[in-house]
Amino acid sequence: DRRAKELANDIEGLYVLHMVRFYHSQGQLDLLEALEKAVHTYLHGALEKN
């Protein structure tokens, strides 16, 4: 049972992390694909725990 605010903070953290990766890769990283995979993995893990 996580509150929506905690979930939003976690997703925002994933976004910031991948923006830093994108910046340091000098645009070579497919940002949208990386974010989609990260959010999918995060949500899949959260659902398995419940």
Give the pLDDT score at 48: 74
From first to last of its 50 residues, the chain has per-residue pLDDT tens of 568 888 889 999 999 999 999 999 998 989 999 999 999 998 888 777 66
pTM for the full model?
Answer: 0.70
Give the pLDDT score at 1: 59
Give the pLDDT score at 12: 93
- Give me the number of domains the chain comprises: 1
Considering Cα of 32, then 37, then 4, then 22, what sign does the dihedral take?
negative
Full residue range of the structural domain in which residue 35 is found: 4-49
Tokens representing 35 are 């974010």
